[in-house]
Amino acid sequence: MSVMSVNLTIEQGEDFSHTFNLINPDETPASIANYTAAGTLKKHPGASTGYEFTISLNTTTAVASIGLPRETTKLLSPGRYYYDLFLIAPDGTRKKRVDGNIIVNGSATLPE
């Protein structure tokens, strides 16, 4: 499994979600049975503050879904951020599967 680089956009103050099809180099679905996942959004990779994604894995279809609620996205300052998504094998081995930049678009009217 190789690392996919995918750039995304978040609208400040809105719920955010995105799905990834995890595929092998030969375009077949990745085998992720019994895997878990972890993913974080940060201003830059070394930043001390990060926002953990909620993540769900469909191990049958090899689809990973990430999300952040609007309560979190309204805390984000507009600008460029970095994110990544790791899969964690049953033996604890971690492999980065997705990374990229996320642009947070500002909002003049943030929800309460």
Give the confidence band of 1 by pLDDT, cuts at 50, 70, 90.
low
What are all long-range contacts of 88-94, with beta carbons under 8 Å and residues at least 24 apart? 88/35, 88/36, 88/37, 88/38, 89/34, 89/35, 90/34, 90/35, 94/38
- The reply to whether 58 falls in a domain is yes
- CATH code: domain of residue 50: 2.60.40.10
% of the chain beyond a pLDDT of 90:
84
State residue 112's pLDDT score.
64
Q: What is the pLDDT of residue 9?
A: 98
Please tell me the total count of domains within the chain: 1
Q: Does residue 110 form part of some domain?
A: no
Which range of residues forms the domain containing residue 95? 4-105
> For 9-34, how does the pLDDT look when each residue is reduced to its tens digit (9 = 90+)?
999 999 999 999 999 888 889 999 99
Instruction: Write out pLDDT tens, residues 52-66.
Output: 999 999 999 999 999
Q: Is 34 a domain residue?
A: yes
